[in-house]
Amino acid sequence: MNQSKGPALILIDIQKGFEDISYWGDHRNNLKAEQNASEILGIWRKNNFPVFHIKHNSTNPDSPLHPTNPGNKFNDLVNPQPNETILDKNVNSAFIGTGLKERLDVLGIKQLVIVGLTTDHCVSTTVRMAANLGYEAFLVHDAAATFAKVNFDGTLYSADLLHQTAITSLNEEFARIISTEILRGWSSRNETDLSEDLSVSFRS
């Protein structure tokens, strides 16, 4: 697989099962997250940059993401192409049991652009571990999303609050928070290094 030098795109758990509101609930933020991820994927394909699709194989038979359920399949907006790597996991981190680090290291990749679901679970875990392993991570805040959750005391926390809290905790310590628009502009300049080219702001 011949690929141009550039940051790797890591698409985390963008699967059909997350459309099942009977399981996850209908209170979700960033309804265009998959669409934005698809646009970013198009940028990577155009530039022939490395792409890694992470699929979550839940061990819970009732989960839409269980391998026996149709929701385990990738969302049609980001269906992998034959030359793109697919890695299966059954825990939160995309680095555990997948060989992702080894593949990145073989390619000499140090910069990762991360998108996917859900912000406060697998996305956050993967971003934190990426930073701990020495990678420079860029999390695209409008290409990630999560669902509302009820706390132990019965308090309902909105999806947007959980999303914003998660990315705020990651910002600057584990990742640089960027947007689809930032990547769109970066791509138009035909750059390959994100850290040297971007003036990153959470507000972008």
Report the 10 Å Cβ neighbour count for 200: 18
> Hey, what amino acid is at 14?
I
SS3 call for 2: coil
Number of domains in the chain: 1
CATH of the domain at 192: 3.40.50.850
pTM given for the model: 0.93
Q: What is the rounded distance in angstroms from the CA atom of residue 6 to the CA atom of residue 51?
A: 10
Residue 1 lies in a domain: no
49 part of a folded domain: yes
In this structure, is residue 77 part of a structural domain? yes
Q: 4 falls in which pLDDT band (50, 70, 90)?
A: low
Domain span including residue 171: 8-197
Predicted confidence (pLDDT) at residue 1 exceeds the cutoff of 50 = no
Euclidean distance between CA atoms 92 and 94, whole angstroms: 7
Domain membership of residue 2 (yes or no) is no
Find all residues with CB under 8 Å of 4, minimum gap 6, and list them: 47, 48, 49, 192
**Mean pLDDT, range 54-59, rounded to an integer:** 98
pLDDT score of 97: 98
**Percent of the chain scoring above 90 in pLDDT:** 85
Mean pLDDT of the chain: 93
pLDDT of residue 191: 73
Which two three-digit tokens encode residue 85?
A: 């790597």
pLDDT in tens, 84-122: 999 999 999 999 999 999 999 999 999 999 999 999 999
Judge whether 3 lies within some domain: no
